[in-house]
Amino acid sequence: MRFLLEGYLRGTLPDYQMSAFLMACYFRGMSDEETETFTRLMLHSGQIVDLSDVPGIKVDKHSTGGVGDKVSLILAPIVASHGVPVPMISGRGLGHTGGTLDKLESIPGFRTSLSVAEYKRILRETGAVLMGQTAEIAPADRKLYALRDVTATVECIPLIAGSILSKKIAEGIDALVLDVKTGRGAFMSSYEDSVNLAKTLVDLGTRFGKNTRGFVTDMEQPLGVAVGNWLEVVEAVECLRGARGDGDASADLMEVTHTLAGAMLEAGGKAGSLDEGIRLSRQAVADGSAYRKFLHIVETQGGNTRAIENLELSPTPRHALSIKSPVDGFVAGIDALEVGLVSIQLGAGRQKLDDVLDLKAGIVLRVKVGTQVQAGDLLAELFTDRDDVVASARQRLQNAFLIRKEPPVRRPLLHCYVDQEGIHPRWQ
């Protein structure tokens, strides 16, 4: 395995041979020992950041991605406001799932490309740093991921686990909380596959000496209300201000956020239990400390805080269209995958890595699964500057809503909790 990975990184092993190896892994899997070796080699292909001079237990969160998943924007300042350092290296959106970096870069001036020295300085100054993967961190993973994408070998649990853990361990963390999505809009739609991935990640992180735990959370409908880069920043800011979250359409977003933040605060030694961590997370929003920490992070990473403090001055897209219910009934389903694909059509996401995003584009939901509606009630709004996609996107988004006469049976938002002791139904 060392021969393969080092040779591929140096360029002495051609793409077609590495593609054959990846395909073999995809069809036959890897043993635990092979997965650990693969992860270790990718980890040591680059620099492992030393954060020993940053006081405290360093804790990060990783999500496998979903539609409307802006949890990191809210969670990082919540956890950092309680004194737990959050070094967070994130990715860009590709396909129907959005990327944290794209959302952050919709804030005017916000810098996500930082040197390792800047990364450490900002973490010491603010308690949290949100940036992209540097050339020094797990370079073998950067090169392999591009090849996995074009050879259709992305959805392979050992390869996913090695990719995630090599980057997370290289960033200098002590503990990791995982959010593995399941459902129609998730990277892995099967519940069994999602649980298997969570268990693999927890076991692998533990073998590397990191305090690792995970949650399997639902992605059958979009998380929160906003899908699209700047739109998701706006929702995150409103949640941090306490203007959204309890009893409204962002309640699911905040329930996931508080649960993950609570687990991070427990792992960081600031809470004696998950329940206490959740209480502290809610407190940080209620007393304004999380919002102030977010402004500090934005300012330190070059962002324009006036854009955050004056959301009403946001730029307006050329087209703002309404989607209305054709009948009376209950919202029985919102197809998260289709919503994500429509957001790409509007300009909010990429189909290729070099696609240029329209950071204003996207969708805002006005209902969630279970909402009772009457004919003519507003279901969603879509925003775009693209003239040629309006009719198609409107029809597709209309079809993403399922309206039934009877109220639906709701899926659990938090399916299970995974730690070193095993899999626990729900998270309790």
Is residue 61 annotated as a catalytic residue, yes or no? no
Instruction: Say if residue 86 is in the same domain as residue 134.
Output: yes
What pTM does this model have? Answer: 0.93
CATH of the domain at 395: 3.90.1170.30
Give pLDDT, residue 417. Answer: 95
Residue that has been written with the tokens 């959740």 in this structure: 278
Q: What is the mean pLDDT of the chain?
A: 93
Distance in angstroms (rounded) separating the CA atoms of residues 360 and 261? 28
| 3-class state of residue 190 by DSSP | coil
Distance in angstroms (rounded) separating the CA atoms of residues 422 and 56? 27
Residue 229, pLDDT > 80, answer yes
Q: How confident is residue 96, by pLDDT bands cut at 50, 70 and 90?
A: low
Is residue 141 annotated as a catalytic residue, yes or no? yes
Whether residue 261 contacts residue 290, with contact meaning beta carbons closer than 8 Å, is answered with no
Is residue 167 annotated as a catalytic residue, yes or no? yes
Give pLDDT, residue 357. Answer: 82
Instruction: Say if residue 275 is in the same domain as residue 210.
Output: yes
Domain that holds residue 102: 59-309+412-425
Instruction: Determine which one of 40, 70, 148, 350 is catalytic.
Output: 148
Between 134 and 419, the more confident residue is 419
Instruction: Determine which one of 141, 179, 218, 252 is catalytic.
Output: 141
Instruction: Say if residue 174 is in the same domain as residue 264.
Output: yes
CATH of the domain at 219: 3.40.1030.10
Q: Convert the pLDDT of each residue in 75-84 to its tens digit.
A: 999 999 999 9
Instruction: Determine which one of 163, 166, 281, 325 is catalytic.
Output: 163
Instruction: Say if residue 157 is in the same domain as residue 234.
Output: yes
Instruction: Determine which one of 58, 61, 62, 296 is catalytic.
Output: 62
Those residues whose C-beta lies under 8 Å from the C-beta of residue 369, and which sit 6 or more positions away, are: 220, 221, 331, 332, 333, 334, 408, 410
* Helix-helix angle 289-300:116-126, to 10 degrees: 150
Instruction: Say if residue 225 is in the same domain as residue 243.
Output: yes
Instruction: Say if residue 136 is in the same domain as residue 275.
Output: yes
Instruction: Dump strand ranges (E) for 64-198.
Output: 86-90, 128-132, 175-182
Residue 354, pLDDT > 70, answer no
Q: What is the DSSP letter of 69?
A: -
Is residue 62 annotated as a catalytic residue, yes or no? yes
Rounded to a whole number, what is the distance in angstroms from the first to the last CA of the chain?
A: 40
Is residue 203 annotated as a catalytic residue, yes or no? no
Instruction: Determine which one of 92, 120, 167, 350 is catalytic.
Output: 167
Please state the domain count of the chain: 2
Instruction: Say if residue 297 is in the same domain as residue 324.
Output: no
